[in-house]
Amino acid sequence: MAARVTEERQVPEASFGSYYGRPILKVTRWKEPHLPAYLFLGELSGGAAALGAAATATGRPVLARAGRLVAAAAAFAGAGFLTAELGRPERFVNMLRVAKPTSPMSVGSWTLAAHSGLVTAAAASSLTGVLPGLGTAAGAASAVTGPVLAAYPGVLLANTAVPAWHSAYRELPLLFTGGAMTAAAAAGLLAAAATGADPGPAARLAIAGAVTEGVAEVSMERWLGEAGEPYREGSAGQLLRAARVLTVAGGVCALAARRSRGAGVLGAALLAGGGLAAKFAVLRAGVASAKDPRYVIAQQRSASGTAGAAPART
Amino acid sequence: MGNRLSGPLADVSGEAGYREHPPRVGFFTDTSVCIGCKACEVACKEWNGVPDTHGDVLSLTGMSYDNTEELGANAWRHVAFIEQAKPVQAAPADGAGDGAAEATRWLMASDVCKHCTHAACLDVCPTGALVRTEFGSVVVQSDVCNGCAYCVSACPFGVIDRREDDGRAWKCTMCYDRLRGGLEPACAKACPTDSIQFGPLDELRAAAAARLAELHDAGEKGARLYGHDPEDGIGGAGAFFLLLDEPETYGLPPDPVVTTADLPSMWQWAGVAAAVLVAGVGAAFAGRSPAGLPWRRG
């Protein structure tokens, strides 16, 4: 279990040996832009599906249609990035060879498969007008798969040896479902601006998402201690700070969307940019923490309560 | 039986579904007798057809005699060389002096996949390409692996990696084919000093405990076993070591824990996050829609 530093360090700063300063862990093979793009599109699809279902239920046809179409498009685009990142893309279907609860990627693959089917059915029904009842049912079901699709990548990343990811297992899913809200809100704001529909629900969703992401980020800063350093330093830190500025600005614009069509469009762009930047930041923080053996050693030494100059273990 | 994610496991192969199976085998690498000959690296490459580590290029790292650098897709045994300037106990040649002298201690250690009792690579593999064998070892089925690289980030030892020109993940198989044929793995067979010992894990653990006592008696206080303890964070390794210094000196994590041990808790937090999303969307749509918009009216 990850050590959470809540007070002053109890042990003196220990100096750690390493093997020529080399990483202990392998640096992830997941790369830019594939992984951040997949994370963003997955949360967009999940959030948009939930938005579409809620809009259908409350009689908001414009947002309902937008939610369904965006959810379907994002699911397929996300699956495309996921597949492109495989070493053997032609073996993508092997993801559905087994169902393994110990593998978040297996859980995610099955979720993505189910979710894609549902949002495709809902979107097709919305586009063609065929079988509206079935489309509504599929859309409603995608309000279940969507949140799972948005949240599971938090477990996907946390269930690794990467210190910055594993130690943030409480926060990463929340960061991603917060991102799902802001991303879906961006889609809703655009649809409202394009059609003149009420942007109110999308604006409120933007605020909810921005607050959720903010809670996740503050928690990471407050509780992760040294393991949270990669989120504050280097390009990951810069990206995460940029993401926060973009998301807050996007939220402010969203609130003005009712008065100004331009504000809605600008808000959508800012929210999407903020969500995307946060995903790049998460990847880079993970890479930084895997590259530096200090994070691995410090985390394990503090967890087991042994300082650098530990006595010989027998 | 259930799905056990951490802690000691008496019968790994049985837990994986083998009703009848041979005893769990493994490696005990006694680094105190390693002479850095790299016969293990060569034998492994020869037997398993592992490609050049750095392609065709002979690269010199400056890391003592180590030009392999690390375990990876193309290096399934890796001999580490560590040169330390520190006081060592020297035999008094002429009876003068207290026997302590500043000298270079040269540590050598042949690293390998740990074949963990709770193997993170195996746990997270989404295709079932990584499997537990009847011998208790962990093997990638190269005809199944789709190169998702999840195992690469999950391994707490940085062992398994993806071969980029091939797209699949590779690591030590403990010479599964040789085991099936009743032979010991190539590295152990080639080791001229028996630094790499192969056999049933129980026997190796007993031999290691005896060797450790011997070294402690001889005054080698820094000697310690690594990966031998079924109570550790990975449930004990199938390949464990006798080291003469801290694990991190050899590039090993000091106290690795299988990431999956926290998995139930991770899913709970993901459940909370998913519920927050549902609540957020619900709240956003709870308000009534106003009749019109200012900018539409204008």
CA distance A183 to chain B (A): 12
pLDDT of residue B98: 54
B140 beta partners = B130
- Supply the DSSP symbol for B285: T
At B109, give phi and psi (nearest 5°): -150, 130
Query: Is A306 within 8 Å of B254 when comparing Cβ atoms?
Result: yes
Q: Which residues contact A209 (CB under 8 A, 6 or more apart)?
A: A47, A178, A179, A180, A181, A182, A183, A184, A185, A247, A271, B280
Closest to A177 (Cβ–Cβ): which among B159, B224, B276?
B276
Closest to A102 (Cβ–Cβ): which among B124, B269, B283?
B124
C-alpha to C-alpha distances, B257 to A10, B116, B156, nearest whole angstrom: 22, 10, 7
A68-94 mean pLDDT: 97
- Supply the DSSP symbol for A281: H
- Lookup: tokens for A67: 């939610």
pLDDT of residue A312: 33
What is the complex's ipTM, to 2 decimals? 0.92
Query: Is A312 within 8 Å of B5 when comparing Cβ atoms?
Result: no
Instruction: Determine the Cα–Cα distance for residues A180 and B270; give it in Å rounded to an integer.
Output: 13
pLDDT of residue B292: 47
Instruction: Determine the Cα–Cα distance for residues A139 and A125; give it in Å rounded to an integer.
Output: 10
pLDDT of residue A11: 43
CA distance A262 to chain B (A): 10
Query: Is A106 within 8 Å of B282 when comparing Cβ atoms?
Result: no
Displacement of CA A169 from its chain's centroid (Å): 12
- Tell how strand B161-163 and strand B168-170 pair up: antiparallel
Closest to B281 (Cβ–Cβ): which among A51, A156, A198?
A51
pLDDT per residue, tens digit, chain B (298 aa), is 345 899 999 999 999 999 999 999 999 999 999 999 999 999 999 999 999 887 777 788 999 999 999 999 999 999 999 999 876 655 555 545 555 566 789 999 999 999 999 999 999 999 999 999 999 999 999 999 999 999 999 999 999 999 999 999 999 999 999 999 999 999 999 999 999 999 999 999 999 999 999 999 999 999 999 999 999 999 999 999 999 999 999 999 999 999 999 999 999 999 999 999 999 999 999 966 554 454 444 3
Instruction: Determine the Cα–Cα distance for residues A80 and B142; give it in Å rounded to an integer.
Output: 23
Instruction: Determine the Cα–Cα distance for residues B245 and B240; give it in Å rounded to an integer.
Output: 15
**Which of B277, B285, B288, B295 to substitute to test the interface with A, most A CBs within 10 Å?**
B277
- Supply the DSSP symbol for B75: B
pTM above 0.80, yes or no: yes
Instruction: Determine the Cα–Cα distance for residues B162 and B73; give it in Å rounded to an integer.
Output: 6
Instruction: Determine the Cα–Cα distance for residues B48 and B66; give it in Å rounded to an integer.
Output: 21
Which residue, B207, B277, B181, is CA-closest to B26?
A: B207
User: What domains are defined for chain B?
Assistant: 14-90+97-281 (3.30.70.20)
Displacement of CA B203 from its chain's centroid (Å): 21
- Res. A13: pLDDT tops 70: no
A138-143 mean pLDDT: 98
pLDDT of residue B94: 53
Q: Which residue of A has its CA nearest to B142?
A: A88
Q: Which CATH architecture has domain A34-304?
A: Up-down Bundle (1.20)
Instruction: Determine the Cα–Cα distance for residues A139 and B9; give it in Å rounded to an integer.
Output: 45
